[in-house]
Amino acid sequence: MVQGAQRIAANRKESKGEMMAMNKKEQAELDTAKRAVIVARALNWTSPVAPDLLVKRGMSEIIGHLYNVHHETTTYARSSSIGHATSYDSTPKKITTQGSRNLYSTKTRALRALRHEVEKECAERLEKIDIKIQEEEAANGQ
Protein backbone atom coordinates (compact mmCIF):
# COMPACT_ATOMS: atom_id res chain seq x y z
CA MET A 1 0.00 0.00 0.00
CA VAL A 2 2.75 2.44 0.89
CA GLN A 3 4.53 1.60 -2.37
CA GLY A 4 1.34 2.52 -4.20
CA ALA A 5 1.38 5.96 -2.59
CA GLN A 6 5.05 6.41 -3.48
CA ARG A 7 4.35 5.37 -7.07
CA ILE A 8 1.50 7.88 -7.32
CA ALA A 9 3.70 10.66 -5.95
CA ALA A 10 6.58 9.72 -8.27
CA ASN A 11 4.32 9.72 -11.32
CA ARG A 12 2.84 13.14 -10.57
CA LYS A 13 4.09 15.88 -12.86
CA GLU A 14 5.03 19.17 -11.32
CA SER A 15 4.06 22.42 -12.93
CA LYS A 16 5.66 25.61 -11.60
CA GLY A 17 6.54 23.83 -8.34
CA GLU A 18 2.96 22.74 -7.66
CA MET A 19 1.51 19.24 -7.80
CA MET A 20 -1.21 18.58 -10.33
CA ALA A 21 -4.54 17.47 -8.94
CA MET A 22 -5.01 13.72 -8.55
CA ASN A 23 -7.74 11.88 -10.32
CA LYS A 24 -10.29 9.87 -8.30
CA LYS A 25 -8.44 6.57 -8.69
CA GLU A 26 -5.14 8.07 -7.55
CA GLN A 27 -6.83 9.79 -4.60
CA ALA A 28 -8.49 6.49 -3.58
CA GLU A 29 -5.13 4.67 -3.78
CA LEU A 30 -3.45 7.36 -1.70
CA ASP A 31 -6.25 7.27 0.91
CA THR A 32 -5.95 3.46 1.11
CA ALA A 33 -2.18 3.72 1.54
CA LYS A 34 -2.54 6.34 4.28
CA ARG A 35 -5.04 4.15 6.11
CA ALA A 36 -2.67 1.16 5.87
CA VAL A 37 0.10 3.21 7.48
CA ILE A 38 -2.21 4.31 10.31
CA VAL A 39 -3.30 0.72 10.98
CA ALA A 40 0.30 -0.53 10.87
CA ARG A 41 1.33 2.09 13.43
CA ALA A 42 -1.52 1.02 15.71
CA LEU A 43 -0.25 -2.58 15.74
CA ASN A 44 2.42 -2.20 18.39
CA TRP A 45 2.91 -3.06 22.03
CA THR A 46 3.04 -0.27 24.55
CA SER A 47 4.34 -0.40 28.09
CA PRO A 48 1.91 -0.78 30.98
CA VAL A 49 1.05 2.44 32.79
CA ALA A 50 0.35 2.21 36.51
CA PRO A 51 -1.75 4.73 38.42
CA ASP A 52 0.51 7.41 39.87
CA LEU A 53 -1.91 8.89 42.41
CA LEU A 54 -2.15 6.34 45.20
CA VAL A 55 -4.78 6.35 47.94
CA LYS A 56 -3.24 5.93 51.37
CA ARG A 57 -5.03 5.05 54.60
CA GLY A 58 -6.10 8.16 56.47
CA MET A 59 -5.63 10.36 53.38
CA SER A 60 -8.43 12.78 52.63
CA GLU A 61 -9.03 12.64 48.86
CA ILE A 62 -7.16 12.58 45.57
CA ILE A 63 -8.37 13.92 42.24
CA GLY A 64 -7.32 12.57 38.85
CA HIS A 65 -8.51 10.29 36.02
CA LEU A 66 -9.69 6.71 35.53
CA TYR A 67 -10.41 4.65 32.43
CA ASN A 68 -13.24 2.29 31.55
CA VAL A 69 -12.01 -0.50 29.29
CA HIS A 70 -15.53 -1.65 28.33
CA HIS A 71 -16.56 1.78 27.05
CA GLU A 72 -13.02 2.76 25.97
CA THR A 73 -13.34 6.09 27.76
CA THR A 74 -11.61 8.09 30.45
CA THR A 75 -13.31 9.97 33.26
CA TYR A 76 -12.52 12.57 35.85
CA ALA A 77 -12.30 10.90 39.23
CA ARG A 78 -12.14 11.53 42.96
CA SER A 79 -11.02 8.85 45.41
CA SER A 80 -10.48 8.42 49.13
CA SER A 81 -9.60 5.53 51.42
CA ILE A 82 -13.30 4.54 51.59
CA GLY A 83 -14.76 5.28 48.16
CA HIS A 84 -14.56 6.95 44.77
CA ALA A 85 -16.62 8.78 42.15
CA THR A 86 -16.31 9.40 38.42
CA SER A 87 -17.73 11.90 35.96
CA TYR A 88 -17.36 12.54 32.24
CA ASP A 89 -17.89 16.31 32.54
CA SER A 90 -15.82 17.54 35.49
CA THR A 91 -14.33 16.40 38.77
CA PRO A 92 -17.04 14.82 40.95
CA LYS A 93 -17.99 16.90 44.00
CA LYS A 94 -18.35 13.98 46.43
CA ILE A 95 -17.61 10.29 46.85
CA THR A 96 -20.53 8.15 45.62
CA THR A 97 -19.24 4.57 45.32
CA GLN A 98 -17.64 2.25 47.86
CA GLY A 99 -14.07 1.15 47.35
CA SER A 100 -11.05 3.34 46.81
CA ARG A 101 -9.30 3.57 43.44
CA ASN A 102 -5.77 4.65 42.62
CA LEU A 103 -5.89 7.31 39.91
CA TYR A 104 -3.88 8.66 36.98
CA SER A 105 -2.60 12.22 37.28
CA THR A 106 -3.42 13.10 33.66
CA LYS A 107 -5.91 12.08 31.02
CA THR A 108 -2.98 11.11 28.78
CA ARG A 109 -1.70 8.60 31.36
CA ALA A 110 -5.21 7.16 31.71
CA LEU A 111 -5.51 6.85 27.93
CA ARG A 112 -2.12 5.11 27.71
CA ALA A 113 -3.20 2.66 30.41
CA LEU A 114 -6.48 2.08 28.56
CA ARG A 115 -4.63 1.40 25.31
CA HIS A 116 -2.38 -1.16 26.97
CA GLU A 117 -5.39 -2.92 28.50
CA VAL A 118 -7.16 -3.06 25.12
CA GLU A 119 -3.96 -4.46 23.54
CA LYS A 120 -3.95 -7.30 26.07
CA GLU A 121 -7.64 -8.08 25.47
CA CYS A 122 -7.18 -8.10 21.68
CA ALA A 123 -4.14 -10.37 21.96
CA GLU A 124 -6.13 -12.82 24.07
CA ARG A 125 -8.94 -12.85 21.49
CA LEU A 126 -6.46 -13.44 18.67
CA GLU A 127 -4.83 -16.25 20.65
CA LYS A 128 -8.19 -18.03 20.93
CA ILE A 129 -8.70 -17.73 17.16
CA ASP A 130 -5.17 -19.00 16.49
CA ILE A 131 -5.86 -22.06 18.65
CA LYS A 132 -9.04 -22.77 16.69
CA ILE A 133 -7.11 -22.47 13.42
CA GLN A 134 -4.46 -24.90 14.66
CA GLU A 135 -7.13 -27.35 15.84
CA GLU A 136 -8.94 -27.14 12.50
CA GLU A 137 -5.72 -27.66 10.54
CA ALA A 138 -4.78 -30.64 12.72
CA ALA A 139 -8.23 -32.18 12.27
CA ASN A 140 -8.00 -31.82 8.49
CA GLY A 141 -4.38 -32.92 8.21
CA GLN A 142 -3.18 -29.56 6.90
Contact 60, 24 (CB under 8 A): no
pLDDT in tens, 94-106: 888 898 899 999 9
What pLDDT is recorded for position 115? 96
Comparing 89 with 128, the larger pLDDT belongs to 128
What pLDDT is recorded for position 82? 87
Q: Is the full-model pTM beyond 0.75?
A: no
Q: Exposed/middle/buried for 84, CB within 10 Å: 0-12, 13-18, 19+?
A: buried
Give the side-chain half-sphere CA count within 13 A for 64: 22
CA nearest 77: which of 46, 113, 33?
113
| Angle (deg, nearest 10), helices 2-11 and 24-42 | 140
At CB < 8 A and 24+ separation, what contacts does 7-12 make? 8/33
